Amino acid sequence: MYPDNTPHVPVQRAVEVHQPTPLPPAVTVSAPVVPVQPDSVPAVASVVLPDGRVVTGYAINPTQPQPVVAKPPVSRAAVNVALGGVGFLAVCGGLLLLTTFITALTALITQLITLAAVIFGGWVAVQVFSASSRQGGTTVNIRKATFKRNHFHG
């Protein structure tokens, strides 16, 4: 840090000590304070606290509300036209939803009918192809008569 062979002596600085200055005690007013309403609000207001201290500040003028601007009345015709437009849009939306529902229901019924036809057709095909694959056919014995596929053999 320091070059070699250089003696290091710390630098001494003067230290200043600040002592707080005490405030003089508040002077109490010997006469009783009677609040009096002034004729007008002064530019600077003063308030005497119960312990005798006086607080002075600027008075705040009360804000005046903005005058209410009269709104022009809305005509009955404008209200009726607006409500009619809203009603028309509601009816159109309802009809659109109804049409969509009917279309979806029709598609569902069509798919169910197609599914039933495929299942029934498959069942019929299984019955036809399984019956032709049998060699002997159906044999029924009634009173010692033998019927084989609608042919009587006696």
Q: What is the pLDDT of residues 40-84, one digit of tens each?
A: 655 677 778 888 888 877 666 677 788 888 777 888 889 999 999
For residue 3, give the H/E element and its range: none
Q: Which pLDDT does position 22 carry in this prediction?
A: 73
Beta partners for residue 58, in sequence order = 44
More confidently predicted of 7 and 112: 112
pLDDT exceeds cutoff 90 at 95: yes
Q: Give the residue with greater pLDDT, 136 vs 90.
A: 90
Q: Three-state DSSP class for 80?
A: helix
Whole-number Å distance between alpha carbons of 113 and 109 = 6
Could you tell me the two tokens for 80? 């009726």
| Structure tokens, 89 | 């849009």
Q: What is the pLDDT of residue 29?
A: 59
Lowest mean pLDDT among 11-25, 48-62, 98-112, 136-150: 136-150
The mean pLDDT value of the chain amounts to 76
What is the tens place of the pLDDT at every residue in 129-144?
776 555 555 555 555 5
Distances (CA, A) of 33 to 28, 47, 49, 77, 96: 11, 10, 10, 68, 82
With 90 as the cut, is the pLDDT of residue 109 above it?
Answer: yes
CA atoms within 13 A on the CB side of 80: 3
Per-residue confidence band for 113, with pLDDT thresholds at 50, 70 and 90:
very high
Identity of the residue numbered 60: I
Per-residue pLDDT at 57: 76
- Res 102 pLDDT > 70: yes
